[in-house]
Amino acid sequence: MTVLVIEDEQTLAGMIAAYLSRAGYQTLVAHSGPSGVELVRESRPDVVILDLGLPGLDGIEVCRQIRTFTDCYVIVVTARKDEIDTLIGLSVGADDYVTKPFSVRELVARVQAVLRRPRAGSSAQTHAQPAWVFGELRVDSAGQQVHLRDEPVALTPTERDLLMVLAARPTMAFSRRQLIDEVWGGGWVGDEHLVDVHIAHLRKKLGDNPDNGRYIVTVRGIGYRMGRG
């Protein structure tokens, strides 16, 4: 597995890369936004660790650009304490985030956690339920594809994983913590409201109304469940 670290602080980037290499990953490093985008395009990494405060292009713009040609996992790293920055980063397709200062071991654990998620074509998926249908929405577990009115819906890995979890048990209302355990893993620590950000972005792509959802329903006091479509 290949991990690309896009971080302008060279000492920190080298430390992260060293820890990842010791954990068994092929590691690449870029120190600016434009070079990071180019290296993603050339190397097609499995995970990108992306600092938001980059020269040339900031991390949010880097994330927006790479999402046009790859669905690799993106973990945002930021020194900004303003929650809006984190939410904006997630809304353009990041899968997870950590804030500085952080433990490099924790960051490596986050990388390991996202790479443990089943991906399209994995053996775990070949025996899964072929597809679930909710009105005009078709969720294909075996192929890891989502279609709305017979048109494919482009989802990030995390958006797809969330939808698969909800679709697999459509009558169950999931709490944020339950969804985190299912998608990010039981050891994940952070602000559980990142689930709301991903759900909001997923609803937007499905053309769903958050106040009266057809496909994803808010269960007050609990969390979310699938609608009937």
- Of 83, 99, 115, which residue sits at a domain end? 115
Q: What is the pTM of this model?
A: 0.79
Strands in 47-189 per DSSP E: 47-51, 73-78, 96-99, 132-134, 137-140, 145-148, 151-152, 174-175
Cα–Cα distance measured from residue 28 to residue 47, given in angstroms and rounded to the nearest whole number: 10
How much is the mean pLDDT over the chain? Answer: 88
Q: Check whether residue 100 and residue 129 sit in a common domain.
A: no
Q: Check whether residue 168 and residue 218 sit in a common domain.
A: yes
Which distant-in-sequence residues (6+ apart) come within 8 Å of 133 by Cβ?
139, 229
Q: Check whether residue 9 and residue 104 sit in a common domain.
A: yes
Tokens of 90: 């997630």
pLDDT digits (tens, 9 = 90+) for 176-229: 999 999 888 877 877 788 899 999 999 999 999 888 889 999 999 999 999 987
Tokens of 210: 């958050």
Cα–Cα distance measured from residue 124 to residue 127, given in angstroms and rounded to the nearest whole number: 6
State the CATH number of the domain containing residue 12. Answer: 3.40.50.2300
Q: Check whether residue 163 and residue 74 sit in a common domain.
A: no
Query: Which residue in this structure is represented by tokens 């985030």?
Result: 97
pLDDT digits (tens, 9 = 90+) for 38-92: 999 999 999 999 999 999 999 999 999 999 999 899 999 888 766 667 777 788 8
Tokens of 49: 């660790």
Tokens of 28: 């690449």
Q: Check whether residue 173 and residue 99 sit in a common domain.
A: no
Q: Check whether residue 82 and residue 187 sit in a common domain.
A: no
Cα–Cα distance measured from residue 132 to residue 167, given in angstroms and rounded to the nearest whole number: 7
- Of 115, 132, 166, which residue sits at a domain end? 115
Residues spanned by the domain of 173: 123-226
Give the count of domains, the chain. 2
Cα–Cα distance measured from residue 73 to residue 97, given in angstroms and rounded to the nearest whole number: 11
Cα–Cα distance measured from residue 199 to residue 195, given in angstroms and rounded to the nearest whole number: 6
Closest-CA residue to 188 (of 209, 163, 158): 158
- Of 68, 97, 115, which residue sits at a domain end? 115
